[in-house]
Amino acid sequence: MRIQRSKNMLKHLGALLCVSALAACAAPRPMQMNGEQLAAAPLRGSVIVAVTLDSLNPDNARAILTISGNGQQRQVYASEALNFIRAPGNTPDARGELALVELPPGDYRIEGVRGEWREPWIGAMEPMWHYINVPLNAAFHLNEGEVLYLGDVHLSLNYRPTARITDQSRRDFNHMNSVWHVPDTSNVVVKVPTAQGAQPTASTM
């Protein structure tokens, strides 16, 4: 993993802090319903993706997932301290965001996930910020009218950062039922793409 100190990483911090103002960001709640099911808008499809994270300092750990392709780009933002995904039964909730993103039909990929976290304070020394970028290059195809579940992109923010995509549909469908109030998820197609990513890169400031 390549580690370097660089002021250029300020742009990562800026992107993370302003992401909530981006018009292209994912909607936090579903916008289209067909009876008791999620439905895509006309001439669109919908993808559902979770972004979860763990870190050495949950108070300030954040992540951004980027989906691109077909002339489109969307981002999903998650905060370890502020966001949760409701797990079933007595299972602890996941820390992160479940998002629904509407897109025109076509070929897309999950580009990767970026994150940041700050070391805890120790004495009078100001702690360093860590900035992480993990390429994933996970390709998928979205059909018109389709509601597609892409799985959970989990980012571990520590001194050896990693990211993986897994099927967490049992947990995430429970969140759709209990938080989004979507009683029927039978039309949601589970198709978790395979990551073809490169080595993570990291920087500190």
Is 8 exposed, middle or buried (CB count within 10 Å of its CB: 0-12, 13-18, 19+)? exposed
Residue type, 2: R
CA triple 83-41-173, angle to 5 deg = 40
pLDDT score recorded for residue 31: 62
Does the pTM of the predicted model rise above 0.75?
A: yes
Token representation of residue 127:
């702690």
The parent domain of residue 31 ranges over 2-204
Taking the chain (205 residues) in consecutive chunks of 10 residues, what is each chunk's mean pLDDT? Answer: 40 42 45 88 95 95 97 97 97 97 97 93 81 97 97 95 97 97 96 91 89
Total structural domains within the chain:
1
